[in-house]
Structure 1
Amino acid sequence: MARLAAKPWEQQLRQLVKSTHGRGWSLGPHRGGRTQITRRWSDGTRSSATLPTPWSPSSGPALLALVERVALAMAEQQIGLAPAIALVDAAGAGQSAAAMRDGAVDWPEAAERWRAQQISSGTVKPFTWSRHHKRHVAETLEVLLRKHRQPRDGEAVLEALLEAHPTAPGCNGRRERLGTAARFLRFAVEHCAAPRRYLPPAKLTDLVGRRLDRPEAGAPLLDHQLLRLYRATPDPKWRLAVGLAGTFGLRPVEIGLCSPDGQGGLRVLGVKRNAAGKSADRPVQPLDPAGAAGLGAELLALLAERGADALPVPTVGTPMSTRLGAYLEDRVPAWGEIRREAAETGQGHLIPYSLRHSYAWRGSQLHGLSPRVLAKLMGHTVAVHLKHYGAWASDLEVAQAVAAAAARLQQAHALAG
């Protein structure tokens, strides 16, 4: 069958494409009334793909804009024809090639797509997004959408973010803010047709910086201190929270995520997340403080009787560790007294996590449990347990150990003599 001659509008459109992008580009009709785009390379090879735009005279302006966006995406992203078409189509047909060239990305739309992808893939929980990532993404959008001094690449975005929200080098807030912004920028480049210059640096070490004033690690509460604090806590809900954290070794965030297992222990929901996924639920047995036998059973009975109503009401946006610390400082004078005494005697610095730490100290010193067993009960690895709990020793404990060693040596010399 003889090939039909090209219509005037087809000739004009093809000429415009070639004059704009070179002889390697061409357009033509495809089955179903759609448009086929072809890219011929200097070595004679070629790639073809189907565009969603109909092959008709009224589609001329849209096809010209689409070809320009595809060509720009291939050059910017260093990708092939088909991936470029998928990318610019996902980015939205309303975005012109000139806008792409100028870096005028629809950043709010990219942010929404990233939010949806993070939550739908299970990478981030909706609660975690609302509490952490949402704020950091909003801060990044403020920088990207500036009318003046708009950053032109990924590193400049992160530097402007630090300038707008200054924090101490090496602190967790700085690391979290930069990490969230960097992941968002990378997603925008890889999935939303943002120019490659917006890719963040491969390493954020220099921008995050190093923290020189490392906070003092929290020491464990001793048993008599735990009981004193527990009995001095006036609010029954917070008293139960203090008792559970100290007697079952809970992280503050786990206080509202546990329930009796019906076998004399607690079932704690997994909350820790890392690259490997969410931690598993774990059973925990109580370790009663010296002088308070049966305290764990009493706490379990209270929790079984009233359930979640027996504990402080959860809130969005404020971590439980922060709320617990604020409550103890504001409402429990004994907490300040215990902290001062611990600092004066060389025991160390006490923090809300000292309740959890007391479980590790009691399990090792009083119950003789191995690091392997304690790590299983507390929901972390043996390496983590040894790193955080293997070096504890108060000034008094060191003095007593040295004195005992000297006495043994003296006794051995006496027997030898």
Structure 2
Amino acid sequence: MAHVWRMAPRQQWFETLRLSIQQEHGKGWSVREIGATKRNPIGRCQLTRIWENRTRSSVVTPVEWKATNATAILATVGQLRTLMEERKLSLQDANKLNTKLLCGPQQSGDDFAGWPEVAARFLKSQEGLRSSTLGDIKTRVTRALEALKSRPCPRDGNTLMRRYAEKFFEGCPSGGVGRKRNLQDVARFLTYAVDECGAPTRFYPPSKAKINELIGSAETTAAEKLTPPIKPEDLAALLDQLEADGEHELRLAVGLVGLYGLRPAELAVLTVKEGRGYVGHVKRNSSSMGAKAKPHRLVKPIDVAGREGEGERLLQLYASGLMKLPKSLRNQIAMVEEKGRFQDVGAEFAQKLERYRPWQSLVARTPGLTPYSLRHGYAWRAHCCSANAMHPRITAALMGHNVATHLKHYGSWTDEASLEAAVERFNQGVHPVGA
């Protein structure tokens, strides 16, 4: 009787997959299809972890149960196991971190292919920020993704941040705020990726010391970088020239900013009550947004010699409505609520002033002078232009910042004239006139 040979049935793809899982991860891991219907015949992959005491835990992954996804399923088991072991997580918590970031068949082995999804989720979490800040963050996240794609691919947070610095810091001065803000945002992005999205822990940002190495040291001192103040005699001459040229509206804006030490954008929130000037808040950031509104700040003018009382006169003129701010400036103020930002008010003030020829001549004579120098001139007069110099605490309160900020920006101001005047005042005390 002849023997009848029969071929062994072909092994199903999922049987091969289960064998691979057992070989790579040991016993206690199983996968099967779940959720298939007549309408949707391809279900999802369910992963079950069975411990030695026979307790078990199961999760449904987002990977479809089909032969072409065998590699992705094997990778998913590895990812979830790593998350569980590295972070001491349950299977369910590990799956929450990993679920939304799986990218299908292209993700395999030790790779983490979820960076585009991490970026989208991170940016969505930042949507409450003002538009300009959010725009900066989007740029930095996009750059981080570019750095991640560069060759050789960064394999940890330290390498990524160094690659980021190499690619994008060419025009960023060493020690400058630009480098600091870039790296701070990249560090926040990486921390979010690991903590909220299941990225490998090796992508945590490096230590503060290593980040400071990338920021570097400033090549110029704080005093050298500080925008110079407009000196009293120059402010007086500027106001006189504006009057002579018939630029009354611009003169009102310049006078209010210079004599009251306002941020130019604060013209949008300047009010007058019972003859006194008050300004609201124009500085919005992640720490101040959503916080309880602070009371409006009282503002007082600091006189310029020979123009005593000019600040009070301009404030009352502004309050009366007889003289208005420039129309283009008023238009920007009217759009603040719609835009959700104040920067355009300050930018319009700067543009108006920078187009004025006498101001251009003043800038040519005083390198580094900017429209913001009008505000700095207020601090200069408070500390350097009177025998009764104002206490930094009072000046800081009038200018709307704390004493530490005030001293940081204005504490280092010296020039020959102020030094000579200080010594002269001292010597007059030692050798009184007529003694």
Q: TM-score, normalised by structure 1?
A: 0.74
Once residues 404 and 60 of structure 1 are traced to their aligned partners in structure 2, the CA distance between those partners, rounded to angstroms, is 90
- Could you tell me how far apart the structure 2 residues matched to 1:69 and 1:164 are? 33
Q: Per-residue CA shift, 1:11-70, capped at 9, x if unaligned?
A: 887656434421132458999x995622527xx59662442679xx95788698457425
Shift in Å, 1:407: 3.4
**Where does residue 51 of structure 1 map in the other structure?**
60
Residue 289 of structure 1 aligns to which amino acid in structure 2? D
**Equivalent-residue separation in structure 2 for 1:379 and 1:303 (angstroms):** 28
Deviates more, 1:225-234 or 1:135-144: 225-234
- Distance in 1, Cα, partners of 2:203 & 2:248: 53
User: CA separation in 2, counterparts of 1:95 and 1:306?
Assistant: 60
Q: CA deviation at 1:207?
A: 0.8
In structure 2, the residue matched to 1:90 is: 100
Q: For the structure 1 residues 300 and 354, does the alpha-carbon distance in structure 2 shift closer, same or farther, using more than 3 Å as the test?
A: farther
Query: Hey, what's the Cα distance between the residues in 2 that align with 1:222 and 1:136?
Result: 39
Q: Take 2:155 and 2:14, find their aligned partners in 1: how far apart are those partners?
A: 38
Q: Which amino acid aligns with 1:71?
A: G
Q: Does 1:403 align with 2:424?
A: yes
Q: Map 1:14-413 onto structure 2 (within 5 A).
A: 17-26=21-30, 35=46, 37-40=48-51, 48-51=57-60, 65-66=72-73, 68-75=75-82, 78-79=86-87, 80=89, 81-92=91-102, 94-96=103-105, 98-99=107-108, 101-105=110-114, 107-119=115-127, 122=128, 124-130=129-135, 132-146=136-150, 148-165=151-168, 166=170, 167-203=172-208, 204-214=211-221, 215-232=224-241, 238-255=250-267, 257-263=268-274, 264-273=276-285, 275=287, 280=294, 282-287=296-301, 289-290=303-304, 291=307, 292=310, 293-301=312-320, 310-311=329-330, 313=332, 328-337=353-362, 340=365, 350-363=369-382, 369-411=390-432
Output the amino acid matched with 1:297. Answer: Q
- In 2: Cα distance, 1:211 partner to 1:39 partner: 57
Unaligned runs of 5+ in 1: 1-7, 344-348
Cα shift readout 1:71-98 (whole Å, capped 9, x = no counterpart): 3244257221222110111224x43484
Q: What is the SS of the residue equivalent to 1:244?
A: helix
1:160-200 alpha-carbon deviations (Å, 9 max, x no partner): 22222213211222222222222222222322333333322
Change (3 A) 1:102 1:216: closer
Tell me the distance in 2 between the aligned counterparts of 1:61 and 1:40. 29
Structure 2 gaps, min length 5? 1-11, 36-42, 334-338
Q: Which moved more, 1:162-171 or 1:370-379?
A: 370-379
SS at match of 1:140: helix
RMSD: 4.3
The answer on whether the counterparts of 1:270 and 1:282 sit within 8 Å (CA) in structure 2 is no
Query: Is residue 220–residue 357 contact of structure 1 (8 Å, CA) maintained in 2?
Result: yes
Give the letter aligned to residue 399 of structure 1: E
Higher mean displacement: 258-267 or 320-329 = 320-329
Distance 1:65 1:353, change over 3 A: same
> TM-score w.r.t. structure 2 length?
0.72
> For residues 323 and 185 of structure 1, do their structure 2 counterparts lie closer, same or farther at Cα, with a shift above 3 Å needed?
farther
Letter in 2 for 1:244: L
Q: CA-to-partner distance for each residue in 1:341-384, whole Å, 9 max, x for gaps?
A: x68xxxxx644332112233445555865433332222211232
Tell me if structure 2 keeps the 8 A contact 1:136–1:180: yes
Aligned length: 389
**Residue in 1 that maps onto 2:9:** none
Given that residues 288 and 296 in structure 1 are in contact (C-alpha distance below 8 angstroms), is that contact kept between their aligned partners in structure 2? no
**Residues 260 and 267 in structure 1, CA contact (< 8 A), matched pair in contact too:** yes
Contact 1:288 1:294 in 2 (8 A): no
Quote the sequence identity (%). 27
Q: SS where residue 72 of structure 1 aligns?
A: helix
Contact kept? 1:241, 1:311, Cα under 8 Å: no
Over 3 Å counting, the alpha-carbon distance change for 1:323 and 1:99 in structure 2 is farther
Q: Give the distance between the partners of 1:140 and 1:53, measured in 2 at CA.
A: 27
- Per-residue CA deviation, residues 285-322 of structure 1 (Å, 9 max, x unaligned), is 23153312512322444599579854474899987777
Going from structure 1 to structure 2, the CA distance change for 1:305 and 1:217 (only over 3 Å counts) comes to closer
Aligned equivalents of 2:251 and 2:81: distance in 1? 62
- Cα distance change, pair 232–397 in 1 and its aligned pair in 2 (3 A): same
Q: CA deviation at 1:275?
A: 4.9
